[in-house]
Every structure is written in C-alpha cells, then in structure tokens.
Amino acid sequence: MNVLMTGATGFVGSAVAHQMIASGEYDVVAAVRRESNVLPNKVRQVVTGDLLPNTDWNQALRGVNVVIHLAARVHVMEDDAADPLAEFRNVNSEGSLNLARQAAQAGVKRFIFMSSIKVNGEQTTGGSLFTPNDTYMTTDPYGQSKLEAEQGLVVLAKETGMEVVIIRPPLIYGPDVKANFRQLLKFTKLGIPLPLGGVQNKRSLVALDNLVNFIIHSMTHPKAANEVFLISDGEDVSTTELLEKIAKAFGKKPRLLPIPTGFMTLAAKLLGKGSVAGRLFGSLQVDSSKARELLDWKPVITMDEQLKKTVESYNNETSV
C-alpha cells in the first residue's frame, strides 16, 4: 500500500512513519517542507513546501492509496498573529482542504485527518464525556480551524467518494513529548515541589503508541470510512494522579503540595494564565468506546508502560 504522510517529521508523524516502515507492509512517502534526516531511510521524501491553499501536491500524490494528514499550524499559548483565526484557517482549513481535493482527484481511496479534541471543547463537567456526536463547543481559533476542515472534508467525501476518517485526540504523551508535559517531566525529575497535590479532576490522555496503532488500524478497516473517532487510553486520571505516575516512572516520591485549587485558579486568572489553570484543574474526558466497538480496537499499551518509556527517553536525552 502506498501512503502519503504530512507532518511525518513531527512528534506523532515520525512515530507513525517508523512503525509503518518496521512492519514492512507500506511504501511511505513523506511530504516535507525541506529534506529531513530524522525519517527512516526507506521513507521517500517529496519537498512540497508549506501547507497552504495553493500548494501543489501532484508529485507527492502519484500512486498514493491513503493520505495520513498530520501537518497543521499548531495551537500556541501566546499567539502574536494580528488575526489568529485567519492564520489557522489558512493552514488547517483551507490548506488541508486543498490537499484533500487534490487527493480525491488523484484517486486516493482514504484520507485520514488528525483533528483535535478542541473541536468538542475545552472542558467536561459533572462526569460527562465528550462524544463524536456532540454539539461543537470549540472556543479558540485552532479548534475552529480544525472544525471547519472537518466539515469541508465531510462534504468532499460525499461529493467525490473518497473515504474520510477523522480522529480527535486529547493530550498525547510519549517519548520526545514537548511543551507542558515535558515541563512536568523536568520538574518531577528535579524534585521541584508542585502545588498540585489535591486536584480532583479527571483527564483523558492518549499514549503515543496507542494513537499510532489506531491511525494505522484505521487506514484499512472498512468500518472506519467516513467516521469520527475520539481516542484515548481509557485510563482517565486527575492531574495529581498523573504526577504520581510520572514520579513512579522516575523511581521518585512525588513532591506535591495540597494547595486548594480554587485559590490557585484565582491566582492564575489574575496573572492572565486562566487557560493554564483550566488544563491543570479542569476535567476533560472523552468517550472512546466507538473505536473499540466499531473497529474492534483496543489500546496496545497502558499509561504506566507508556510513561516508563517516556521517562526512559527523557533520561537518555537529558543525560547527554
């Protein structure tokens, strides 16, 4: 099977590429902005430039059966763009739909689109879970651009017959993870006390290994066609429980102070960090039963196992 991947040099994409090459079942083409040395030698690279509404995908799409579209303008905490929504739309909506239209014209059978749980919203309350059929509650430009791309893909699938699979993951963690999760690894390894010992929220996460496995699984499963999936480990944890698990993976005792979350939320808002407080103290749970029941899929790794791999990778990297 011939597969075109965008975002193949990223956190998720590089893991997918390595897994597919290791299986020996796929010929993988990576659409890249510039030549990269982080991909397996057996991956053929085609330089396409940036993901834009006018990008020419003709060369990259030749002979391709499946597109795995992971590239995106990612969510950023401090966006200094004059019009963030326009910037996100340019790449994530219009750029993605341009690729999808050309893919359909080239005879691609299935288009897998990596969306985001932000399409559903930022938080769940009262023990509720996000589902694929929720009324959309996205609140930021990134989530809006992903939603618009999803809506355009649904229309395109009906018009062309190209099958579309949409995946909305929550927080992804695993070896080489960046951003806030990496900071938690750093603080835990250094033994820095954190005021997060009494957080009673519930968060769904997805291990990198589980997400990669699901992406590959959804490439060929007949029942995945034209469906939306929320994917997670199925092991929802509080922020406190997550930090305890990370500390265990490091072989350390967690240093967590039980500061009232109401006080910390107020302090964060006063400092202009209300969104950070929402992620640390709020709940976000997803219902991934559709993936398990419709596609007969199940996680291939537990949270503890993935955290152990993540910590081992972090230790190796930071000890150099």
Q: Which residues are catalytic?
A: 142
Separation CA 114–CA 167 (nearest Å):
5
Q: Which amino acid is at 8?
A: A
Cα→Cα distances 188→61, 120, 193, 212, Å: 44, 31, 8, 26
User: Would you say how long the chain is, in residues?
Assistant: 320
Within a 13 Å sphere around the CA of 117, how many CA atoms are in the beta-carbon half? 24
DSSP 136: P
Closest CA to 6 of 23, 36, 223: 36
DSSP character at residue 5: E
Backbone angles phi, psi at 243, to 5 degrees: -65, -35
Strand partners, 2: 27
* H or E segment to which residue 222 belongs: none
Give the residue from 23, 72, 70, 73 showing the smallest Cα distance to 43.
23
> In 3-state terms, what secondary structure has residue 46?
strand
Packing angle, helices 303-318 and 239-250, rounded to 10: 60
Beta bridge partner(s), residue 111: 67, 164
Contact 100, 79 (CB under 8 A): no
CA-nearest of 37, 230, 43 to 131 is 230
What's the burial of 116, exposed, middle or buried (CB within 10 Å: 0-12/13-18/19+)? buried
